[in-house]
A and B are shown apart, each in its own frame.
Chain A
Amino acid sequence: MIARRGSVALSAAQFLADVRRVAATLPPARHVLNACADRYHFSVGFAACLVSGRVSLLPSTHTPEMMRQLRAFAPDVVCLTDEDDCSIELPRVRCAAAPQPAADAATLAVPQIDAAQLAAIVFTSGSTGTPVPYRKSFGRLIACVREEAARLGLPGHCTLVATVPAQHMYGFESSVLLALANGHALCAERPFYPADIAAVLGAVPAPRVLISTPVHLRALLASGVVLPPMELILCSTAPLAQQLAAETEQRCATRLLEIYGSTETGQIAVRRPTRTPEWTLWPGVTLSLEGEATWARGGHIEQPTRMCDVLQSTGEGRFLLHGRVSDLVNIAGKRSSLAYLNHQLNSIPGVQDGAFFHLEESRTTHTGVARLGACVVAPGLDAARVLEALRERIDPAFLPRPLLLVARLPRNSTGKLPQEALRSLAAAQGKTATVA
């Protein structure tokens, strides 16, 4: 079987029949925005494009502005959707996956796809507001997720349940391609609430794999819902606090692996945070320091890519992640990074979530030294206690001024935490701030 929806198994024969049906309904356009929310529909749509020589476009967002940019990039683009109330401003095609088993399914042969075929184009937001396209060939995508299956140590015939969308590079690789290329079953649903995640996991047979993010794992633990046994939990999109990783492994009695990658390169490294801070690279992928930037190339990477993170090589195929380049902090000659400081902050017992941020110019002192601010979620602790614990962990230069105790951090839908959002939160709370 290739997929599941609830307790219903969807066979490879059904999938192939659906792929043929959807391919036949696509207009002559070469570019298809695959907006299907149901992961099975998405997979059928992706494969339908593959077998008909079309290219799937996977932008990071479906905002009207992004759709304008997409039309400029590919004027023939059509939108493949499975929703009645789809509001995407492109010519729309309904995904015609069959609700009933196909009668002639057993006779269908598995199509062969040329490794060099252009399978998908993904987009990053770019620094100037114009999305930057990255072309993904079928062979490299498949090589990457075949390696992933080995790296994750998955037994045969797992069922993959994911809380991330299929259109995001991490979800595309780990919830769709990982299943299709390795004989695992993908789950059509994208559960959201903790109880949904528990229900979807409970409806599928073992071995189960949960593909998720720090945000959803935090919610899962906080909810206290009972989860069925899992073979593995996979996490990506934002750094996972070591404490959360340990708690997740303990509560779920399973392994938690973290994936490192980018839209440009796809996934390139994995680690088990409770065992080692070191990441292990995919075979053939190398890192090199050029000037102040780290470049990744080789292996399944399509073109040499400048990474947005500070990566410190620690030996053949291994590295430490020291946070994003823009995370670097220099206060009065003392250097650190927001990632490092955040790690220390999140390691304090009682701190559920926390982040440092750069204050705007107007918040600097007469000496010209800009301090950092921090927002902390720590019910049960007061600001003085958090500061006291921080003082034991970091140089006094980095102690936050102000330290704001908040109910939650302004994470966006993928779990990332924009500095600007932190500053806005701090400005909003400014009058009630506890200043160190």
Chain B
Amino acid sequence: MSDKVAPLRQPASPADAVTLTGEVAGLIVEALNLEIAAADIDPDAPLYGEGLGLDSIDILEIALVVSKQYGVQLRADSEDNERIFASLRQLVDYITAHRTR
């Protein structure tokens, strides 16, 4: 039983979520060349506007990185979009639920 392969979209364990959060924060810092350390991004602060201070082009940049890394194509016309970029945590939750790799 311990060898059983995890089914797709199994809810992430808290430990996985923490790992992924660090990973995504790192990708954002790297992609946008931010002057802060990945670990210093508040997972609950808004990414857009105030908070990290990103603009729409940054968001586009993040979307490209996320699609390359996790196979998630972000969509602005989904109702989720504002929620997805509400914070790093929300973005990570979305990736966890929709990643294809």
Contacts and interface: CB of A to CB of B under 8 A. Distances in A.
A219 B55 CA distance: 15
Nearest to B30: A407
A24 B20 CA distance: 54
Nearest to B61: A408
B61 to A, nearest CB: 6
B86 interface: no
B41 to A, nearest CB: 16
Contacts of B61: 407-408
A428 B60 contact: no
Interface in B31-88: 31-33, 35, 55-57, 60-61, 63-64, 67, 73-77
B59 to A, nearest CB: 8
Contacts, number: 58
A199 interface: yes
A189 interface: yes
Contact of B33 (A193, A195, A224, A406): A406
Nearest to A377: B33
A74 B44 CA distance: 42
B60 A215 contact: yes
A365 interface: no
Contact of A408 (B31, B63, B75): B31
Contacts of B73: 193-195, 223, 225
A192 B78 CA distance: 12
Interface in A399-420: 406-408, 411-413
Interface residues of B, number: 18
A411 B33 CA distance: 13
Contacts of A222: 64
A22 B61 CA distance: 38
A191 interface: yes
Nearest to A414: B57
A196 interface: yes
Nearest to A6: B77
A259 to B, nearest CB: 21
Interface in A160-200: 189, 191-196, 199
Nearest to B67: A223
A192 B60 contact: yes
B56 to A, nearest CB: 6
A408 B33 contact: yes
Given A407-B32, A407-B33, A408-B31, A193 B57 contact: no
Given A408-B33, A413-B55, A219 B64 contact: yes
Nearest to B76: A192
B86 to A, nearest CB: 15
B56 A413 contact: yes
Interface of A: 189, 191-196, 199, 215-216, 219, 222-225, 406-408, 411-413, 425, 428-429
Q: Which 9 A-B pairs have the closest CB atoms?
A: A195-B73, A407-B33, A192-B76, A193-B74, A196-B76, A193-B63, A195-B75, A222-B64, A219-B60
29 contacts: A189-B77, A191-B76, A191-B77, A192-B60, A193-B63, A193-B73, A193-B74, A194-B64, A195-B67, A196-B75, A196-B77, A199-B75, A215-B57, A216-B60, A219-B63, A219-B64, A223-B63, A223-B64, A223-B67, A223-B73, A407-B30, A408-B31, A408-B32, A408-B57, A408-B61, A412-B55, A413-B55, A428-B35, A429-B33
